[in-house]
Amino acid sequence: MKLNVVVLYSAGHLGSAMIMNKLLAVPEINIVGVVKAQPMTLSLKGWTRIKRHLIKVGWRFAWLLFWQRCIQGLGYLITLVFPFLRKRLKPAWKIAADHNIPIFHSQNINNPASQAFIKQHNPDLLISAYFSQILKKEVISVPKMGILNVHPGWLPSYKGAMAYFWVLKNGSDRGGVTVHWIDEGVDTGDVLARRSFPLKANTTQETVLMITAVIGASLIRRVVRKLIAGEDLQPLAIEKEKDMYYPMPGEKDFESYFEQRRFFRIRDILGLLVMKKHR
> Above pLDDT 70, what percent of the chain?
75
pLDDT of the residue at 39: 61
**By C-alpha distance, which of 238, 136, 242 is closest to 182?**
136
113 falls within a domain: yes
| Position 16, amino acid | S
* Domains identified in the chain, total number: 1
17 falls within a domain: yes
pLDDT of the residue at 279: 45
Lowest-pLDDT range, 41-45, 75-79, 213-217? 41-45
Q: Which residues, in sequence order, are bridge partners of residue 196?
A: 176
pLDDT of the residue at 41: 46
* pLDDT at residue 59 is higher than 70: no
pLDDT of the residue at 60: 65
Q: Alpha-carbon distance 99 to 31, whole Å?
A: 9
Sign of CA dihedral 127, 132, 137, 142: negative
pLDDT of the residue at 161: 86
Q: Residue 31: which pLDDT band, with cuts at 50, 70 and 90?
A: very high
pLDDT of the residue at 267: 61
In this structure, the strands spanning 125-129 and 103-106 are unpaired
64 falls within a domain: yes
90 falls within a domain: yes
Q: Alpha-carbon distance 279 to 120, whole Å?
A: 35
pLDDT of the residue at 126: 97
| Position 198, amino acid | P
pLDDT of the residue at 42: 41
Spatial contact of 124 and 2, defined as CB atoms under 8 Å apart = no
279 falls within a domain: no
Q: Alpha-carbon distance 52 to 213, whole Å?
A: 29
Spatial contact of 275 and 214, defined as CB atoms under 8 Å apart = yes
DSSP 273: G
Report the CATH number that the domain containing residue 40 is assigned in CATH: 3.40.50.170
User: How many other C-beta atoms can be found within 10 angstroms of the C-beta atom of residue 114?
Assistant: 22
133 falls within a domain: yes
Q: What would the mean pLDDT of 157-169 be, rounded to a whole number?
A: 92
**By C-alpha distance, which of 155, 147, 195, 198 is closest to 174?**
198
Q: Which domain does 38 fall in, by range?
A: 3-274
* Residue-wise burial string across 213-240, b where 16 or more C-beta atoms lie within 10 A, e elsewhere: bbbbbbbbbebbeebeeeeeeeeeebee
Backbone Cα Rg of the chain: 18
pLDDT of the residue at 96: 85
Bigger pLDDT: 174 or 251? Answer: 174
Q: Alpha-carbon distance 11 to 36, whole Å?
A: 6
* Longest Cα–Cα distance in the chain: 51
* pLDDT at residue 18 is higher than 70: yes
Query: Which of 9-13, 73-77, 218-222, 252-256 is the most confident on average?
Result: 218-222
Bigger pLDDT: 179 or 54? Answer: 179
- Mean pLDDT for the chain overall: 83
pLDDT of the residue at 72: 61
Q: Residue 22: which pLDDT band, with cuts at 50, 70 and 90?
A: confident
For the segment 79-95, what is each residue's pLDDT rounded down to a tens digit?
666 665 555 567 777 78
Q: How far is CA 278 from CA 146, 210, 213, in A?
A: 26, 10, 10
236 falls within a domain: yes
Q: Where are the beta strands (DSSP E) in the chain?
A: 3-10, 29-37, 103-106, 125-129, 146-151, 159-160, 174-181, 191-198, 245-246
pLDDT of the residue at 104: 94
For residue 22, the Cα-to-chain-centroid distance in whole angstroms is: 12
pLDDT of the residue at 44: 44
pLDDT of the residue at 85: 54
157 falls within a domain: yes
